[in-house]
Amino acid sequence: MKENKFEFNYKVYDNISELPEEQQWLLNEAREVTSNAYAPYSNFQVGAVAKMANGEIVAGSNQENASFPVGLCAERVLLASISSLFPRVPIETIAISYKSDHQKSDHPISPCGICRQSLQEFESRVNHPVQLILGGMEGPVYVIDSASRLLPLAFTSQELR
C-alpha cells in the first residue's frame, strides 16, 4: 500500500487593498456584478468577472428559477458567455464575489463542484491556467494560480479517449 498526499499553495491577502491594482479592479467589478444575479430563492448573489487573454472583460452572475435548486452558477454563466463570444480565447483571471441577505460577505467562497469541473475543462481545452481571485464584499482575499488546483484527481477528457 502506498499513501499519496495532495496539497497546493495559494495567496491570502488581508483585504482587497493589498492586491495589485488590476486585481483590485477585477474583484470590485465582481462585487458589482452580484447585483445582476437573479437569486430570489437562495438570496445568495454571486458575480464573476473574467479578464481574457485578448484584453476583453466578460461578466456573469448566478441565475435561479422556480424549480430551485436548479439554476446556473455565476461561473458557468460566465464560461458559457466566454465560449460563445470568444471561442478558444484563454481566460487570464476570474474574480468571484458574493453577497447574501442571510450572512455576512466577509470571507472568500470557492466554486461548487460542477463549476470546478467546468473551470478545469476550460483550462484543459485552451491549454492555459485560469487564475482565480476569491473574495467577499470585505475581508480576506484568496488568489489561486490555476482553477484546476481546486479539483485534484479530476475526471477529464483523457478518460473518454
Catalytic positions are 75
CA 119 – CA 105 distance, rounded (Å): 23
The answer to whether the peptide bond before residue 108 is cis (omega within 30 degrees of 0) is: no
In angstroms, what CA-CA distances link 32 with 37, 109, 121, 132?
Answer: 10, 16, 27, 17
CA 19 – CA 46 distance, rounded (Å): 20
CA 123 – CA 137 distance, rounded (Å): 27
CA 130 – CA 53 distance, rounded (Å): 10
CA 91 – CA 114 distance, rounded (Å): 18
Cell of 95: 474574480
Cell of 33: 456584478
Cell of 151: 479539483
